[in-house]
Structure 1
Amino acid sequence: MSEGISQPDRPADEISSGEGQTGDLFSKFDPVIAMREGLLAKGVEDPFNLVMEKVLSPTRAVCNGRDTILLGTYNYMGMTFDPDVIAAGEQALNDFGSGTTGSRVLNGTYQGHREVEDALREFYGFDHAMVFSTGYQANLGIISTIAGKGDYIVLDIDSHASIWDGCKLGDAEIVPFKHNDIEAMEKRLKRIPEGAGKLVVLEGVYSMLGDIAPLEEMVAVAKKYGAMVLVDEAHSMGFIGDNGRGVVEQAGVIDDVDFIIGTFSKSVGTVGGFCVSNHPKFEIMRLVCRPYVFTASLPPSVVATACTSIRKLMDGGEKRAHLWENSKALHKGLKDLGFQLGTEEPESAIIAVIMPDLEQGAAMWEALIKGGLYVNLARPPATPANMTLLRCSLCAEHSEEEVGEILAIFEKAGKAVGII
């Protein structure tokens, strides 16, 4: 045994003989394996192994040999093929090479990393910005570092996996509450011992149903009980709010939250994550946040594309307006066809179509992909209330004609499968 690894509370002879061991460590995944094999046995195309042979634009690709409309990519503002963004990446690749081969606290801070953090500070109007290699790492690192043993994290039950994992890594007391329930959140905060460190974690847009949090009321309650507030704006940055700063801006609470988490892999159109804050001690996070300290930094080409994209999003008012029109048109069209949707009205660029069960959801997904439309098939346990969802994420580059095509494909597939 390696030194430092604690031993099971069992007799030594049992340990050495191997008796009583549970066997294959993969056995815990048997239900997922059975689910996947069951779908494939029915001849359904694998919805979790799609390959894009060629990407033609932010809204179209060749998938399984078919020209396909993309409606499940989170490419909300369509920045992936922006000429200025691509040119910035090419220039950085030529000037600085393909990677940094080191973490930010060693050799991994290039000029581009400083520039993208400057762009984030300007975009949000905050004093500090810290860039991570992924959005997942941003939540993992910030949450686990600021809330540790003896502290309390109060969070929405529908929070993203990266938020839950950040809570576990930091070893704080985790106190979940019912989704978007202001009263339930306040009850949890009331029970926390006086003087304990408290962090409330919320999301602007929840990625499964596309609904938004009542941030104005929730932030007020959190501050009433002396809690710090972190809001994940991954699915609203660039799109929601007059300047695209997210639901915190739309709700008028951007100056009241302590941390905003975001990602480059959605509206920004590349990869990476970040946190912005006005806390005067925030810069110490660069030395104490393990997922930041012990991870290689983003390649120069990636931070160059992100920086250019963020600065262009500052002037993205027309794109935002068109994306809202797309969201309203698709939501109304699907509702009029008879599909059950995750929200009564469009609240974001995500529209969730609720399926009766996984088997019919997979059949519907297959009918859509064969009809030339890609959406996400979301299944339990990642979804709320064990729902099966077809999750649609619109793009500012979808034309009015493409939205019409999408509705026609949904209608044909829905009738063929018996959903409508």
Structure 2
Amino acid sequence: MTDLFSKFDALIAQREGLLATGVKDPFSLVMEEVKSPTVAVVNGKETILLGTYNYMGMTFDDDVIAAGKQALDEFGAGTTGSRVLNGTFQGHKECEDALKEFYGMDHAMVFSTGYQANLGIISTIAGKGDYIILDIDSHASIYDGCKMGDAEIVAFRHNDVEALEKRLKRLPADAGKLVVLEGVYSMLGDVAPLKEMIRVSKEAGAMILVDEAHSMGFIGENGRGVAEEQGVLDDVDFVIGTFSKSVGTVGGFCVSNHPKFEIMRLVCRPYVFTASLPPAVVACSAASIRKLMHNGNKRAHLWENSRNLHQGLRDLGFKLGTPDAQSAIIAVIMPDLEKGAMMWAALLENGLYVNLARPPATPAGMTLLRCSLCAEHSSEQVADILSRFERAGKAVGII
């Protein structure tokens, strides 16, 4: 009998080899207590959090928590149903209204996760006979949406406008075309040249979807993302986002101005056949989104943190994923997986948690430590983070 797990043997051996060195498993870390957006207790030790995507620090906001508690009392723990049956509560509509106001768009659809938003929207819009043109470094949820919809996938070199244009010109003029881009790419934290990419996509008659998961809340004058920052938000057909980053909860969404968009509620399978988000979650999300509209000072402080950490790490001699601070993500490139795991463990021992990222999640097969900054990190914490990186880097021999 064929062992269906045998395809994972190489990965199992790699993991066992890593753990045999004495390094704790980087992918099964448990936070015993979370004290704030920036501090938790891990392995019995108070630890600075630098790998949570809690960009705007909304997880402990008083108004957000109060909204969730009220919804829990008034609507109960869950919906026990899909959005199109019994799973749409007043809170879901209020959350979608908050999104429409936040983006200044006509339509908003809330999903149970961000992954599901990409899976549902992409697979429903582009099907057999259509073409999806995407950046080679696109998120797994984007690739899975393409596969589920059965459209033809055409990938182009990361952030390469010329490569995108060449791919588009080779496609049949009358075919359905969807260009899928991301504002900020989650591994290196680099920003896409959306303005030029959207221009060539429009010239080729394609529709455009931009995933702003890692830019919503803090990039752009109103926190609407890279498309807003580059002045092309009105040219985007669909914006996908998630609540598990700047909003500080869980869930996903799509906003659009397309006049036929509401039919998606009846034809999008991951939306139709999944139970909706619990009342407390949508209430927290709506409260958070409304506060993010007026968070210019927090956005400015987050940018200050990002620039200071990027410059400080570079000055210490670390190799970084971008030449300057482009987002709230700063990637520290490691020589290999073993050194990366050792560095991750040394940082954790020093009371600092970051993400260890490895292939196939990372581009070009690299191993990296991904740092996600928060608007609630104080300037003193950023200085402290740098000193912990210096100690760990010297102990492991990275710097």
**Distance (Å, rounded) in 2 between the aligned partners of 1:239 and 1:110:** 29
What is the distance in 1 between the residues matched to 2:362 and 2:259?
37
Aligned-pair CA distance for 1:32: 1.2
Verify: 1:397 aligned to 2:397, yes or no.
no
Q: How does 1:107-146 map to 2 (within 5 A)?
A: 107-146=86-125
Distance 2:373 2:281 in 1: 23
SS in 2 for 1:397: coil
TM-score, scaled to structure 2: 1.00
Shift of 1:31: 1.3
Compute the displacement of 1:152 (Å): 0.1
In structure 2, the residue matched to 1:225 is 204
Pairwise CA distance, 1:319? 0.3
Counterpart for residue 14 of structure 2: 35
RMSD of Structure 2 on Structure 1 (CA)? 0.4
Partner of 1:164: 143
Give the distance between the partners of 2:196 and 2:166, measured in 1 at CA.
14
Q: Residue 245 of structure 2 aligns with which residue?
A: 266
Residue 173, structure 1, aligned to residue 152, structure 2: yes
Match of 1:152 in 2: 131
Aligned counterparts of 1:76 and 1:33: Cα–Cα separation in 2: 33
Deviations 1:78-111 (A, max 9, x none): 0000000000000000000000000000000000
1:361 deviation in Å?
A: 0.1
TM-score by length of 1: 0.95
Residue 189 in structure 1 maps to residue 168 in structure 2: yes
The amino acid that maps onto 1:32 is: L
Structure 2 CA distance, aligned partners of 1:110 and 1:101?
11
Number of aligned residues: 399
Deviation by residue 1:117-142 (Cα, 9 ceiling, x = unmatched): 00000000000000000000000000
Q: Is the aligned partner of 1:247 residue 2:220?
A: no
Q: Aligned equivalents of 1:78 and 1:292: distance in 2?
A: 28
Residue 371 (structure 1) aligned to one of 333, 350, 357: 350
Query: Take 1:153 and 1:202, find their aligned partners in 2: how far apart are those partners?
Result: 11
Q: Distance in 2 between matches of 1:314 and 1:353?
A: 31
| Aligned counterpart, 2:78 | 99
Match of 1:18 in 2: none
Aligned to 2:305: 326
Aligned-residue identity in percent: 80
CA distance in 1, matches of 2:350, 2:363: 28
The list of structure 1 runs, each at least 4 consecutive aligned residues, that deviate by more than 3 angstroms after superposition, is none
Choose 1 or 2 for highest CA Rg: 1
Structure 1 residue runs without a partner (length 5+): 1-20
CA deviation string 1:192-239 (max 9, x = no partner): 112000000000000000000000000000000000000000000001
Corresponding residue for 1:211? 190
- The amino acid of 2:222's aligned partner reads N
- SS at 1:255's partner residue? helix
1:280 — aligned with what? 259
Aligned partners of 1:83, 1:239: CA distance in 2, in Å? Answer: 20
SS in 2 for 1:202: strand
Q: What amino acid is aligned across from residue 346 of structure 1 in structure 2?
A: A
Aligned-partner SS, 2:288? helix
Q: Read off the aligned partner of 1:351 and give its amino acid letter.
A: I
CA distance in 1, matches of 2:10, 2:388: 32
Query: Aligned runs of 1:324-363 on 2, under 5 Å?
Result: 324-363=303-342
- Mapped partners of 1:57, 1:184: distance in 2: 44
Q: Alpha-carbon deviation of 1:35?
A: 1.2
Letter in 2 for 1:141: G
- Per the alignment, residue 9 of structure 1 pairs with none
Correspondent of 1:86 among 38, 53, 65: 65
How much has 1:159 moved relative to structure 2? Answer: 0.1
Within 2, Cα distance between the matches of 1:191 and 1:29? 37
Q: Confirm or deny that 1:293 pairs with 2:272.
A: yes
The equivalences for 1:381-396 within 5 A come to 381-396=360-375
